[in-house]
Structure formats: C-alpha cells, structure tokens
Amino acid sequence: MVVQRVVKPKTQKGKRFLEGREPKITENTKTSIFVKGGNTSMIVTQAMKELCLLKKPNAVSYKRKNILRPFEDETPLEFFAKKSDAALFAFGCHSKKRPDNLILGRMFDFHILDMFELGIEDFKSMYQMQGAKCNTGSKPCLVFAGEAFDQDTEHKRLKNLFIDFFRGPVVSQLRLAGLEHVIQITALDGKILLRNYKIKMKKSGSKIPRVELEDMGPSLDLVIRRTKLASDDLFKRSLRQPKTAKPRKTKNISRNAFGSKLGRIHMDKQDLGKLQTRKMKGLKKPKGTKKTTAQSEETNGPSKAKRVKKSAD
C-alpha cells in the first residue's frame, strides 16, 4: 500500500507556488497547453503555433513529440495539465485514418471534462495574409453564427468550449480603442468555420468611428469527427459556484435593463392638508365661507388679544 506524503514547502517561493495551486473563490485566467502527437503534419503544426499566439500569454507549448491517444488513455494529458496548472488543452496529430487532426478539450479538477476531435479540411496561415495583426494578449470579441449552435447538443457544448478557450481574462472595463480582434465561428453545412479579423477604426466625420474588419488569419475549416462529453450531472457540478463568489443581494436595490441602479425607500404617510402650496388668488376661499368673529369665539373660544385683556383686568 502506497501512502501519499504531504510535502510541506521549505522556502517562501515553494509556499507561494502551492498557494497558487490551491482552489480559489475567484478563478485565475485559464491556461491552455498545446501538445504535439507522435506524428503531425505541417498544417497541424502551423495551426497550433498560430492558435498558441492568439492565446498568449496564457498558453504553454510543448515542443517535443508525445505518442498519445486521448480518446483511449486520458492520463498523460491529465498529467501535463496538472504539471502546467492548465484547464484547457489542444492536441495535434496526423494519421492515414484521421489526417490533420486537432483535439480541443478542457479539464475539471485535472480530469477531462469535454473533448472534441476536429479535422482540419482547409487552413490559411496569418502569414499568407497582408496587413497588421492584433497585439498579443488582446481580448477578442466572439461572434457565433449558425442555427446548430442553438439547436444541437454537441454544437452547444462546442460553443461553450470555444468561449472558454478564447475569452481571455475577465475585465470590468474596456476602452473602445482596445477592441481590435474579432473571432467569428460559423456552423454551416456540417462544418465549423473559424475566422480571425482585425478591427480598424477610421474617421467618419463624427465622434463615432467607422468600423471595418480586415481578415488577418488564421482561417480554419473544421469538421467534427469524435466527441467525448461529460454527463449532465458532472457538467452541472463543474458550473457550481461557492456562495461567497455570488454577489450579495441588497434589499430594495435593483438594476434595470440598461444597468442603472434603482432604489426603493420607505416614507411615512404624508398629511396633504398641511402641505404648503403656492399662494394664488384663485386658491383663496370665497368670502361667503369666512366665519364671523362671534362664530369663531363660540367654536374656538375668545381671541388671544381678548384673553390678554381679561387677564390684565
């Protein structure tokens, strides 16, 4: 029987390293690993290089060849993911039966959650396209087109994987000039078309610039070959969040569709009879309704001046 030892850090650097690997309430930005198989083609190698460039700085590339079969044995990929503290992976291989093969997947607790085997039918490198490229580490805009992403179960999960793979760090604010990269993913005739565009903002004669998209690559035409999806229970468990991570609900405060904060306050019932209104001739009571002094003395008693005179006497 092998007993696992609990290794305690001996240095501050080792202590910080272990603290970084511990579970957190707010997750770090997910890292992706790119692993090459025992036999890869030029198309697969170049496609993985350029996808890794789009993912940087949250990407780790393994340059050595590794003879792996993820759909038959998952343990080597899980080992690489744990070693690099990565939640996403891309594995490229090439064979006669499955040419130009690209496998994309993600981990949950360092075990494979979802995995898609995609065949590259057409590939166009970013170096074959003229024009400027986006800066490293820029956050892309993701655009999905196609009815399959809303109707088919596999395509829904693949859309969720693409969002996980390309979304980058979570930010609270984003300036307009920082938007320079668009990734469009289209499901059409059983294929997945992945395109990358550079956003160009040109003068329009007003404050709002004229936006144009320029194809910057890489462009991939993909076909789904094999899939391995997590069960519904496991997928729900992977989406679970701790209570401390959820925003605390404040009483009587809500937000509308535009994000404006609306508050509800408690007020006592107002006596509108004491409300001071604007003095206008039209609001004065007519003369016939005025009480005589005798009637007022009967109801309210003698006036103040008379009371003072009586007390003086």
Structural domains of the chain in order of their starting residue, each with its CATH number: 29-232 (3.40.50.10480)
Answer for the pair 9, 15: CB distance below 8 angstroms, yes or no.
yes
For residue 293, pLDDT over 70 is answered with: no
For the stretch 178-200, what's the b/e string if a residue is b when 16 or more beta carbons lie within 10 angstroms of its beta carbon?
A: ebbbbbbbebeeebbbbbbbbbe
d(CA 214, CA 194) in angstroms, rounded, equals: 14
Mean of the pLDDT values across residues 112-126? 92
Residue with tokens 């109707």: 151
- At 119 the pLDDT is 93
Using a pLDDT cut of 90, give the percent of the chain over it: 29
Per the model's pLDDT, the better-predicted residue between 245 and 190 turns out to be 190
Region 62-81: mean pLDDT is 88
Q: Is the pLDDT of residue 302 over 70?
A: no
Chain segment 237-289, per-residue pLDDT in tens: 888 888 877 777 778 888 888 878 888 888 788 787 777 777 777 666 677 65
User: For residue range 124-156, what is the model confidence (pLDDT) as tens digits?
Assistant: 998 888 888 888 878 889 999 989 998 888 999
**pLDDT tier at 301, thresholds 50, 70, 90:** low
What residues are paired with 253 via a beta bridge?
A: 263
| Average pLDDT score over residue span 214-221 | 90
Please calculate the CA angle 274-280-281 and round it to the nearest 5 degrees.
Answer: 120
pLDDT (0 to 100) of residue 299: 52
Percent of the chain residues topping a pLDDT of 70 = 88
| pLDDT tier for residue 309 given thresholds of 50, 70 and 90 | very low
* pLDDT(311) > 70: no
